[in-house]
Amino acid sequence: NIQREDLNPIEEAIAYKTLSEKLNLKITDISARVGKNRSTISNLIRLLQLPDSVQDLIKNGRISEGHARPLLSLADRKKIEQLAYQIAEKGLTARQVEDLVSNLTEERSSAPEKKKPRKDVNIVELENKFRRKYSMKIEIGHNQSSGKGKMTIAYPNLEAMEKILNALGL
């Protein structure tokens, strides 16, 4: 009985997953049958990926689905559990949880990145001229020190490719 009013999000997610697996239904089929948005059902089912202890917090109403969903973007199950208990204890808002998770994922991905060298202004101008004339994207890679480079032309169809080849005299 999926449409009972007193179902918690985990019970609802289990019911949708069961429908999907036992009746071989796609999420879109389930959404049409129960009158809910496809993304709502997908997001509920995703909650089942959380550790059992976090699912228990949701079942007991200590944290909401909105609190739990951002936790899914974290890979470390221990960290997910720690944050879930912190959310329950401190009464954080869903927005605060989103910000907290965002900060954690930014810290992880803030490894030193190689900066792309800026393209020479003349190269950028050549790319723009080509785009304007042929209505196709071109990427020019040029090595200043060796003088070598590479041109990559993205064409939408064979006719456009022929147009370029004719312009090159081929």
pLDDT in tens, 31-42: 898 888 999 999
Q: Are residues 10 and 33 in the same domain?
A: yes
**Is residue 59 included in any domain, yes or no?**
no
> Domain range spanning residue 92?
64-113
CA gap 110, 126 in Å, rounded: 34
Give kind and range of the element (H or E) at residue 88: helix 77-90
CA atoms of 102 and 97, how far apart (whole Å): 8
Ranges of residues in the chain with a pLDDT under 70 are 1-5, 107-117
130, 105: one domain:
no
Q: Tell me the whole-structure pTM to 2 decimals.
A: 0.60
pLDDT at position 136 is: 80
Q: What is the pLDDT of residue 131?
A: 82
* Per-residue confidence (pLDDT) for residue 123, from 0 to 100: 84
Inside any domain, residue 39: yes
Structure tokens at 133: 């004339």
Question: Is 58 inside a domain boundary?
Answer: no
Determine whether 83 is exposed, middle or buried from the number of CB atoms within 10 Å of its CB (0-12, 13-18, 19+). Answer: buried
**First and final C-alpha spacing in the chain:** 69
What is the pLDDT at residue 1?
A: 54
pLDDT at 71: 92
